[in-house]
Amino acid sequence: MSLVNIFKNRCPNCKKGYVFINNNLFSFMRLTEMNQKCPNCNYNFFPENGFYWGAMFVSYGLASLEGMLVIFACVLYGNELFDYANLLIIIAFMIILFPFNFRLSRIIWLYIFGNKTK
């Protein structure tokens, strides 16, 4: 599994086609629109119904890690650990990073559990 290909939104089979129609992981435009199959190698991105339900757990892990990093940065900046300003900052970061987490978690799930045959 190559982290570069995951962040580039590449197909786990051929590493050339794109998983999402819009290639920008941070974009709100066409957020959930995935290709059904890889345009390059015809790899099926939807192996079964409900395949991406497990990606919720990956997204939760990403959001938790990002929240811990933000709270750590707030404490280093000089805020108290339990401060309402920290909570607002974390909520703002979660909203900003939502499209990134949504797409990245689906791509990671596909790379880990996707069928490696065409």
Contact (CB, 8 A) for 101 and 26: no
CB atoms within 10 A of CB 87: 12
Give the pTM: 0.83
Specify the pLDDT at position 118. Answer: 46
User: Is the Cβ–Cβ distance between 9 and 23 less than 8 Å?
Assistant: yes
Per-residue pLDDT reduced to its tens digit, 21-68:
887 777 777 777 889 999 989 999 988 888 999 999 999 999 999 999
The tokens for 27 are: 């974009």
pLDDT band for position 92 (cuts 50, 70, 90): very high
